[in-house]
Amino acid sequence: MATDLRISNISKIYPGCVANDNVSLQFKSGKIYALLGENGAGKSTLVKILSGVISPDNGEVFLNEKNLKLNSPLDAKKNKIGMVFQHFNLFETLSVFENLSIDATEDNKSLRLRINEILKKYNFSIDLDVPVLNLSAGQKQKVEIIRCLLRSPKVLIMDEPTSVLTEQETEELFISLKKFCDEGILIIYITHKLKEVLSLCDEVAVMRKGKVVSVSQTQNEKVETLANKMVGQKLAKIKKKINISKNKDEIFKVKHLNFYSDDPFETNLVNLNFSVKKGECLGIAGISGNGQNELFQILSGEIITPDTSIIFRNKEIAKLNPKQRREYLMAFSPEDRISQAAVPELKIYENVALNNFKSSNFFEKGLVNERKIKEHSKKILSDFSVNTDNVELKSQFLSGGNLQKLILGRELITAPELLICYNPTWGLDVGAINYIHETLIKINDQEKSTILISTDTEELLKLSDRIAVIYKGKLSKIMPSEEVTPEKLGVLMGGGSID
């Protein structure tokens, strides 16, 4: 029997953020659907609504024209909606079979029989009696899939399934998914990887900022068209005047930056080399999850990598920690402004004291100089037009925009020669974005340099003098931004090549 899943006018609003804005979509069995979007575009919220984890503020879900009340994951299961999350929900110390039998209703003997049937049918090779912790990521995912298949699902939702898989495992997964599809299971595939959409899916819905911005047949799409839809093409024409920096000194130079991690949720970085000139803004574009996090932490000194050389103002700083790098006049504005750049439970002036450089005298002879810190904080609040003058306010009560202004103000108070920022306007409103952009341009005007790691192409094209793209931990060649078009960026961000 054909399955028809319809989402009608779904909205979900979180404080300060519209996660889903009137989303309507229609899916029919026999096809694989992609739900494409950047982190924070609202895919996960939608998926959580479909699987009953959260309930929408508005809107309805229909399965074969039956209005579903999805108040809990149990409701989703009852209605034959299966879900494989990005992070596995398995008990590592229990065996595969024990994991599968936890929520089974039948006796062990018939369950084992049914599991073996599934294994055989889809050519899965998994030993049912080994503990889950001995399995590879791909095998664990298969266990999750089997768990869904045991309930003969009508709908199977896969949330970023390939993020922890090897290429080989990815191929195997695609083969299985196509098989499920042929058997009449409706498959919704959530991803931000463009190539996967093109090679696997029949139809693609693109989400951006909580809205569905396009629904189309994948055969009519290319990597770059999808990339543009995903990151948004309404490019502001205002660009800052390009710095004529050809003959200027290189102030910052990175050589042989390699990073290897055992954690499958981290990205390895492969031999990055780049440099920044005085007064220049170097933009690093890329879809999130391609190594930006790791790159930022290595540049800031939170992660020290062996054999990397980082020269800043003619000094080797690769082995220095963030505090020491600050003394050499570097400054950092991380992506996670809420819980990394600041501590929400701390007062504004205490958050300001986090950037404790030597000449600040915030701490004299190891003692807190509260008066000095507060004076400084007051100055930051007024210089950077944060909408409070109360330095005793806990920073959790600042809006995103005001918090970002505070953080930038704190970082810029040392008049740094180089500011490294990562998604500085993420989640902010237009007013705040403009303010931050003006500030960043001003820094370059004062002959100070910036490195802007951003997933927002519009922002990069507006602010950067030169742009490179990071994809799967590798950096493209660095291009002068006047030669860069959104289309080119789109291709590079999707892993294509432009030569």
Q: Which residues bind another protein (CB under 8 A)?
A: 300-302, 321-326, 332, 334, 336, 339-343, 345-346, 350, 353-356, 363, 366-368, 394, 396-397
Residue 306 vs 366, nearer CB to another protein: 366
CB of 305 to another protein, least distance (A): 15
Cα–Cα dist 227/224, whole Å? 5
CB of 345 to another protein, least distance (A): 5
Residue 243 vs 333, nearer CB to another protein: 333
Q: Which helix (H) or strand (E) holds 369?
A: none
Residue 173 vs 342, nearer CB to another protein: 342
For 117-248, strand residue ranges (E) read 155-159, 186-191, 203-208, 211-217
Residue 111 vs 346, nearer CB to another protein: 346
How many whole angstroms from its chain centre is CA 328?
30
Cα–Cα dist 317/324, whole Å? 9
Residue 297 vs 476, nearer CB to another protein: 297
Residue 217 vs 387, nearer CB to another protein: 387
CB of 441 to another protein, least distance (A): 25
CB of 320 to another protein, least distance (A): 9
CB of 368 to another protein, least distance (A): 5
Sole residue written with tokens 């820094």: 443
Please name the residue ranges forming H helices in 280-416: 292-300, 322-327, 348-352, 370-383, 400-412
Residue 427 vs 496, nearer CB to another protein: 427
Cα–Cα dist 32/219, whole Å? 13
Cβ distance 221 to 204 under 8 Å? yes
Q: How many residues does the chain have?
A: 499
Residue 112 vs 394, nearer CB to another protein: 394
- Look at the alpha carbons of 470, 475, 481, 482 in this order and tell me if their dihedral is positive or negative: negative
φ and ψ at 133, to 5 degrees?
A: -65, -15
CB of 351 to another protein, least distance (A): 9
Cα distance from N-terminal residue to C-terminal residue, the chain: 48
Neighbours of 134 (CB within 10 A): 12
CB of 453 to another protein, least distance (A): 15
Q: Which helix (H) or strand (E) holds 323?
A: helix 322-327
**255 is written with which tokens?**
């050589």
CB of 437 to another protein, least distance (A): 23
φ and ψ at 449, to 5 degrees?
A: -105, 160
